[in-house]
Amino acid sequence: MQFCWNVRLIRQNHIGIKSLFCLVLMATILFSKLSIASTIDEVVQLRQIAQLAEYVGVDYASAVDNGQVINDDEYQEMLEFSQLIVEKTSINNNDFRSLNEKASALQRAISTKQNVNVVRQITSELRISLLAMMPELPLPKRLLSKEATFSLFENNCASCHGISGQGNGVLASGLEPAPTDFTDKTRAENRSLLGLFDAISNGLDDTAMPAFTQLKEQQKWSLAFYVGGLAFKSSSELTNPSQSISLQNWINYSPLKLSTETDGLTKNEIEGLRANPTLLFTNQSSPIAITKTQLAAASNAYKNEEYEKAKTLAVSAYLDGFELIENSLDARDKDLRKSIEGNLIKLRQVLSNAQQVNQFESLMEITVGQLHDAEELLTETTLSNEALFTASLVILLREGLEALLWLYWL
């Protein structure tokens, strides 16, 4: 009798353990989802602010010229959007405090009808700060064919923007503000592909531009690249794009920004790649190749005594290159990853001092050699980042299932 009672007690305790385990598991999953949702909400907010800032920077020239309002409707929209940016950045933490200061400066510049270059400078600085706070977007591996993309444009965009993208579709005359003329080169030079993608994905408040939520990511990116290239001409001489820029930077910044701040890319190359973006996907550099290229450019800048430029390029070597393969390299050789990362930090420190040429050259030689080793190691890797994630998830689920089965049969 005592034995039976003990067995029942043990079973009851095991049932309690299983119930507790399930509750903890459910709570963990719920908490994780809530945390992710919060992060996603913040990213969406940042992306929308960046979209608004770019829109203001591009369209302000249509509202004000030489300190005078030339289009009252456009000017009222600039005032409204700048106020909206101020409101969206009015959050009491250090990161948003800096954004709010820039947003307030933008609002003052618009209200006092400052020169368009002043407004564009502020919106550019605001977008750079916002992009630094956001995780990088998953980018398409390839774009749709030109025929498929044009069909998408014809079916979804041409009624407002016109069949050739000039903003003269059959519905355009009744819309205020008027649909964008994608063939306007001055406007296109100040518009990023990310801004176009966000406009397609989320629409634009207080305009006729809707959110095309029914489209898949590849379709939206294909449309963004398509309309972003309508103002530019393809160059028959451009057969192999420069290796000095990542696809992430290509979509983040406008052609004007890229032409003034990217070594190795001429204005003609940028315009040619905007007009014919498929080359970016067929010849896209690997992250390690980008790291090497940016370090080489940093070395040249250092030798030319352009120290700030050298530091900027060295930071880009990490952010636009090596950082993208850190997790993959960790899975193969964690010590090598740590060593390369440490040497990249040392390089950035040395670049601040004009008297450390010998140390810089020695560090460069070691780091480039390590990057070569990492490249060979990763070439042998058959698991991509996505596959590694999937494998980890399978292991986690398997271990969880085994734990549940073990508790059940106890």
- The residues facing 354 across adjacent strands are none
| Residues 193, 209: Cα–Cα separation, whole Å | 16
Pick the CATH number of 146-231 from 3.10.580.20, 1.10.760.10, 2.115.10.20, 2.60.120.10: 1.10.760.10
Query: Helix, strand, coil proportions of the chain in percent (round to 5)?
Result: 70, 0, 30
- pLDDT, one tens digit per residue, over 380-407 is 643 344 444 444 444 445 445 544 444 4
Report pLDDT for 322.
87
Q: Give 272: exposed, middle or buried? Use CB within 10 Å, 0-12, 13-18, 19+.
A: buried
Residue written as token pair 């193969």: 332
Report pLDDT for 211.
92
Q: Structure pTM? A: 0.57
Handedness of CA 388, 390, 394, 399 (dihedral sign): positive
Report pLDDT for 40.
60
**Token pair of 329 as six digits:** 């390299």
- The residues facing 159 across adjacent strands are none
The full set of domain ranges for the chain reads: 2-133, 146-231, 287-379
Report pLDDT for 169.
94
Handedness of CA 271, 277, 283, 287 (dihedral sign): positive
Across 181-242, where does the E strand assignment appear?
Answer: none
Tens place of pLDDT for every residue, the chain, 410 residues? 343 434 333 344 444 444 444 444 444 433 333 333 345 667 778 888 888 999 999 989 999 999 999 999 889 989 999 999 999 888 877 778 888 999 999 999 999 999 999 999 999 999 988 888 887 777 877 888 888 899 999 999 999 999 999 999 999 998 988 899 999 999 999 999 999 999 999 898 778 899 999 998 889 999 999 999 999 987 655 555 545 577 888 899 999 988 887 766 788 888 988 998 877 776 556 778 888 888 888 888 888 888 888 888 888 888 878 887 888 888 889 999 999 999 998 888 888 777 777 888 889 999 999 999 998 888 764 334 444 444 444 444 544 554 444 444 45
Type of residue numbered 285 = S
Across 36-187, where does the E strand assignment appear?
Answer: 64-65, 68-69
Residue written as token pair 């089965």: 405
Q: Please give the full DSSP string across 335-388, using - where no structure is assigned.
A: HHHHHHHHHHHHHHHHTT-TT-HHHHHHHHHHHHHHHHHHHHHHHT----HHHH
Q: Is the peptide bond before 177 cis (omega within 30 degrees of 0)?
A: yes
Beta carbons within 8 Å of 170's beta carbon, 6+ residues apart? 159
- pLDDT, one tens digit per residue, over 72-81 is 988 998 999 9
Are 200 and 220 within 8 A, CB to CB? yes
Type of residue numbered 230 = L
Residue written as token pair 């309508």: 230
| Residues 187, 274: Cα–Cα separation, whole Å | 14
| Residues 210, 231: Cα–Cα separation, whole Å | 23
State how beta strands 68-69 and 64-65 pair: antiparallel
**CA quadruple 145, 146, 149, 153: dihedral, nearest 10:** -170
